[in-house]
Amino acid sequence: MTSTRTVRIGTRGSPLALAQANLFASLITQASGGSVATSLHPFTTTGDKILDKPLQDAGGKGLFTKELDRAQELNEIDVAVHSLKDVTVTLPDHLYLAAFLEREDPRDCLIGPFARIADLPRGAVVGSSSLRRQAQLKAARPDLNVVTFRGNVQTRLRKLSEGVAQATILAAAGLRRLGMIDHAAATLPVEDMLPAGGQGIIGATLRKDAPDWLKELLAKIDNEEARLAATAERAFLRRLDGSCRTPIAAHFRLTKDGAEMVGEVLADDGSKRWRAEGVIEGRPTVFDAEVLGDALAEDVAIERAYDLEGVLPPDYAPDGEDGEDEA
């Protein structure tokens, strides 16, 4: 490598996105031994501009990435850094996910004067822009008045202080990366609120025809555990159309014996939920993780269809019951 090489890093312009891009840039500097420079190129995405309606009505996840995708296609930037849960499960043909950074805390935080969802007053107004969180809140507390709450972390905290809502839910990862975790009344266990697929993971997209030195550099900062989790959770989302239009959650983690994963889909009003769980024995590969995520999604899809339509395939058996599908 030579000192003349510079990696142009595309990012959204929000404080959280810039913090994540700066983290990525520091890892590039470290991995290259200081021989590669970095430059940040902030973009205002369509999702940043549309704040007056729910994401699912405005176009879904691609709203936060398409300007960056286009900039990569035009070779205006080399790498785009994203919160992985904002990235569509099917990427444009010219791109691939080249690196995943070490996962931050994937859990959600309750923000407001109450430390537990159960402690919220009856009929309390809770703000969230996430269909997943809205459905999970309604499933736990049907009496809550859950309203749409758009904007970045700072905007949502301001709305809360202005009394627009009595509580809100934010990702622990974002609060930690911004040094604002003290704003959380509590971090919610995954058993109470299963996270979004990819939550807490930063992903970097790269052109497929990028130079080998850049591909090799990103491979150095790729985190294996984050890649496994991202692969499993995105496989689950892909099978079930996880596009901001479906209340869907997925969480994969390594254990001392291998790995385990839980995934679920909920009715919009929280009145129904379809959940599947699975394990991998022994150290998983990326292939194992993808198979597990896809298999759990298939179970959820079939059971949801049966619940709504009353029909199961004649050869259907949940994972493990047929003795063959032991992902």
- For residue 326, how many C-alpha atoms fall within 13 Å in the half-sphere facing its CB? 6
Beta partners for 221? Answer: none
Q: Give 10's contacts (C-beta < 8 A, 6+ positions apart).
A: 41, 43, 68, 71, 72, 76, 77, 79, 80, 81
Bridge partners (DSSP) listed for residue 184: 111
Rounded to whole angstroms, the Cα distance separating 137 from 158 reads: 21
CA 47 – CA 41 distance, rounded (Å): 17
On whether the CB atoms of residues 42 and 11 are closer than 8 A, the answer is yes
Query: 121: which strand partners?
Result: none
The residue with tokens 């990028």 is 210
Q: From start to end of 181-326, where are the E strands?
A: 184-187, 202-207, 248-254, 258-266, 273-281
Please state, in angstroms and as integers, the Cα–Cα distance from residue 41 to each residue in 21, 22, 68, 81, following that order: 9, 11, 10, 10
DSSP per-residue letters across 238-266: HHTT-SSSS-EEEEEEE-SSEEEEEEEEE
Question: Tokens at residue 269, please?
Answer: 């009003």
> How is residue 186 written in tokens?
């509590």
- Order of strands, edge to edge, in the sheet holding 167-171? 145-147, 125-127, 167-171, 108-111, 184-187
48, 57, 69, 86: the active-site residue: 86
86 is catalytic: yes
23 contacts: CB under 8 Å, gap ≥ 6: 101, 177, 202
Positions annotated as catalytic residues are 86
